[in-house]
Chain A
């Protein structure tokens, strides 16, 4: 079709966690600008399979920017060249005919590669298991409107709650720090009245788990904020630090 593009892809291929991995070059011919980036990879994969070659593996599911599964490092940027979107929301009209596109997995010690472009982000789950919750059982809770919350506070908590656990912040960071993600999770609950009883214990437990998982330290570079598809703000990191140090210096009983 007219208007379609011919591209060159340099894709990271790695058979499994133990494999060293390498870039492999593919031609992506006749790509419509209307395709999403992942649809472009689907087309390339269909052609690979027809030539009995193993398709390029990558994580994806919702393809509408909310599940956080997709995770590609495209031309040196997590989720590609555009701001505030995920890879699955990126369309080929953001590229031009003849372009060479480099596609890599998230790179971080705490996110080992599973195969090709798919990485293991279970560290994020473990951090939340360590304390990212309010300890209430099903049933026996107060009526929802018995807890009035100012709209300003609620909106701010919401801003933190929009994090989709994609890991782009870690991939963007030269230290591979998970601070933006962890702080967003801590902030959401720390801002809400329901989150107060466990506030400091939560911050401590989650930060401790973050360190255990091998993420790097935050040195305030701010690359995470720029690359975050949900525009999670650095303010969250300040909140996390405050809660973490409060928890360290005082015992929880003394604070509450």
Chain B
């Protein structure tokens, strides 16, 4: 199969406008004859569902939480980028496009990224019209701040809770359509499978998480907006319920999975304290604007600090290694996320880490407090300092913060073409669950932008083209494919419920996470990846033999929910390893130790790897097939990133 990205011809800046004109339209009076299924109510899902309903389509919306407003977009802290150039500091659509392509280490599609930059400006207008309370200046206009990987101030923010405020905006638009009867909302419903009719996506099967009822729903198209799969690693900054089930099962029904190994590991998170740890908390990237990263200069000193014999504040300047400032004099503490994370790992692996576990580095505000005063630091970062204090019981105004990298975001996801359609006709993927736009590394404040661009401004156009093509013939669940898919799911559930082994689901999940973190985390090499593959395969066999699943289907059953998610994570974990093995170059968040420059930086291999790796599922325990979409760069010149 040849992967057709449907990238429009013509000059970069004109592609999207011209394409929109060329797309087929659905006649206004016909729109109500179509039903669209939208799975997920985060920024991508809520904005898509509301916008499509406004156009007149009937929408059925699903989420696993008890309310659409709890989707994990809610947790985004830092902000959202847009090329408004309100600061008059030289920003433009082209600059945002360029920064994003470069930040992604030249592994994304030019056409998609340019469209994203174009739509970014409309997002801000839309959110303000909905009542989103972005930060403002005293003059009453919107405020901006700068964020990693950019030299202009283009990030719009809402205190430390941009995600919640944007989501509440999209949720309110969704609520309005629910009130008007155009969206039917199904909370606490988990999508467990995709229903295919005549080679097209035509519905889904869900489990009602309260009653256990297995239901099917039919629609003319299915939109997956189900977020990232970082929880493959068990510990991540994702919410506890974030899962890969919807996209993984769609993958098994034919949707290609692109670049699964591209994972973003965020440098500034609160370190692990013990085995019981259930998730990791992000400390916003903005802290690196004023915080200095360091470790004790020698292993001996580090050991004394770990044992509490020496306090960090008592270490002389000469006994400290500000390793980012030392290695990257021009970017210093503000190097991109992947570089900062790898360096933290390197010093800790070298025995210089701090904290009781030795898996932490300091993020120190003593200089900033000295230079700006405590009040100024508090005004800027007060809520983050409080959050840190809450979790660690240490006061960051007096002691440097301890931080360590953690899994944060997944750039990989379902392969989509320019229309956001997967390789399955009628099945779309929006937001973090698709692979588009961020290449091998995502810049800060760009995920919120992408989710909302996909939902508000891309899918309303591109979906119409597909629907106009298939026509408004009614669809319902009477086709035998629906009963069959329901039966397959029931069989799987019964299989889970019969599992009465000795090991808990969390234990399996933790084991998987450790394998992934060790061998498919911040640094990867062939031997380690091969080892990981064997370990995962063994874990999978053991899982189906020895896992314990409690309770019955016809009740709220967190054990059963977890079983399906862990089973899918294990399979996806193996594909991530396969992808990491295949990609012998280093790029962005994917660091292959075999491919580094003399100074130990990531080295791309454009000649052999300037492609999207899209994997096709070929059956249980059968190797997946790799399809390559060549990346063509007509506008930017590929260069090796340097932050020295």
Interface residues in chain A, defined as those with a beta carbon under 8 Å from any beta carbon in chain B:
15-16, 32, 34-36, 38-40, 42-43, 46, 49-50, 52-55, 57, 59-69, 85, 89, 91, 93, 114-115, 118, 120-122, 124-125, 128-139, 141-145, 147-151, 154, 157-158, 161-162, 164-165, 188-189, 192, 194-195
Does B210 make an interface contact (CB < 8 A)? Answer: yes
Give B62-97 interface residues, CB cut-off 8 Å to A: 65-70, 72, 74-75, 84, 86
Report yes or no: B126 in contact with A141, Cβ–Cβ below 8 A: yes
| Chain A residues whose CB sits within 8 angstroms of the CB of B202 once the complex forms | none
Would you call A43 and B391 a contact (CB within 8 A)?
A: no
Name A209's closest neighbour in chain B (CB-CB). Answer: B179
Q: Is the CB of B128 within 8 A of A147?
A: yes
Provide 29 A-B residue pairs closer than 8 Å at the C-beta atoms, listed in order of the A residue: A15-B555, A16-B555, A40-B276, A43-B276, A46-B507, A52-B548, A59-B66, A61-B70, A62-B70, A62-B239, A63-B278, A63-B279, A68-B70, A89-B390, A93-B393, A118-B556, A122-B66, A122-B187, A128-B171, A134-B130, A136-B129, A138-B50, A138-B173, A144-B84, A151-B138, A154-B133, A154-B136, A162-B159, A192-B133
Q: Top 8 A-B pairs ranked by shortest CB distance? A: A148-B140, A141-B129, A133-B172, A144-B128, A138-B51, A115-B556, A61-B239, A67-B70
Q: What residues of chain B lie closer than 8 Å to A54, measured between beta carbons?
A: 550-551
511-568 of chain B: CB within 8 A of chain A: 548, 550-551, 555-556, 558-559
| Alpha-carbon gap, A54 to B558, bound state (A) | 10
Q: Indicate if the CB atoms of A129 and B161 lie closer than 8 Å.
A: no
B457 at the interface (CB under 8 A from A): yes
Closest to A60 in B: B240
Please report which residues of chain B, range 438-467, place their CB below 8 angstroms from some CB of chain A when the two chains form the complex: 456-457, 460
Binding site for A on B (CB under 8 A): 47, 50-51, 54, 65-70, 72, 74-75, 84, 86, 122, 124-131, 133-142, 158-159, 161, 163-165, 168, 171-173, 175-176, 178-179, 185, 187, 210, 239-241, 273-274, 276-279, 281, 387, 390-391, 393, 456-457, 460, 500, 502, 504, 506-507, 548, 550-551, 555-556, 558-559
Extra contacts, 13 of them, besides A43-B276, A63-B281, A141-B126 (Cβ < 8 A), are A16-B556, A53-B550, A63-B279, A64-B279, A67-B70, A93-B393, A133-B130, A138-B126, A144-B125, A145-B84, A147-B129, A148-B140, A151-B140
List, in ascending order, chain B residues with CB within 8 A of A43's CB.
276
- B131 contact set on A, CB distance < 8 A: 134, 157, 188-189, 192, 194-195
A50 and B274: CB pair below 8 A?
A: no
The verdict on A39 contacting B276 (CB below 8 Å), with A93-B393, A133-B176 known, is yes
A134–B127 Cα distance when bound, in Å, is 11
Output the nearest chain B residue to A190 by Cβ-Cβ distance. Answer: B131
Complex Cα distance A164/B134, Å?
17
* B69 contacts A68, C-beta separation under 8 Å: yes
Q: How far is the CA of A155 from the CA of B164 in the complex (A)?
A: 16
In the bound complex, residues from chain B placing their C-beta under 8 Å from that of A67 are: 65, 70, 72, 74-75, 239
Give every chain A residue within 8 A of B129 (Cβ-Cβ).
134, 136, 141-142, 147, 194
Distance in angstroms from B155 CB to nearest chain A CB is 14
Given A39-B277, A61-B72, A66-B75: A49 touches B125 (CB 8 Å cut-off): no
Give complex CA distance A53, B504 in Å: 12
**Which residue, A62, A66, A149, A151, has most C-beta atoms of chain B within 10 A?**
A62
Select the residue from A49, A53, A132 with max chain B CB neighbours within 10 A: A49
Q: Is the CB of A62 within 8 A of B74?
A: yes
From B72, B187, B277, B502, give the contact of A125 (CB < 8 A): B187
Contact A46 B506 (CB under 8 A): yes
* Cβ distance A64 to chain B, nearest Cβ, rounded Å: 5
Residues of A near B159 (CB, < 8 A) are 158, 162
Contact A129 B178 (CB under 8 A): yes
Contact A66–B74 (Cβ < 8 Å): yes
Instruction: Output the least CB separation between A144 and chain B (Å).
Output: 4
- Complex partner residue of A62 from B72, B126, B141, B391, CB under 8 angstroms: B72
Given the interface contacts A32-B276, A91-B393, A128-B175, does A64 sit within 8 Å of B75 by beta carbon? yes
CA distance A120 to B391 in the complex (A): 29
A66 engages B164 (CB within 8 Å) = yes
Interchain nearest-CB distance for B385 vs A (Å): 14
**CB contact between B69 and one of A39, A57, A59, A165 (< 8 Å): that residue:** A165
Q: Which residue of B lies closest to A63 (CB)?
A: B279
CB–CB A164/B164 < 8 A:
yes
A46 to chain B, nearest CB (A): 5
A73 to chain B, nearest CB (A): 17
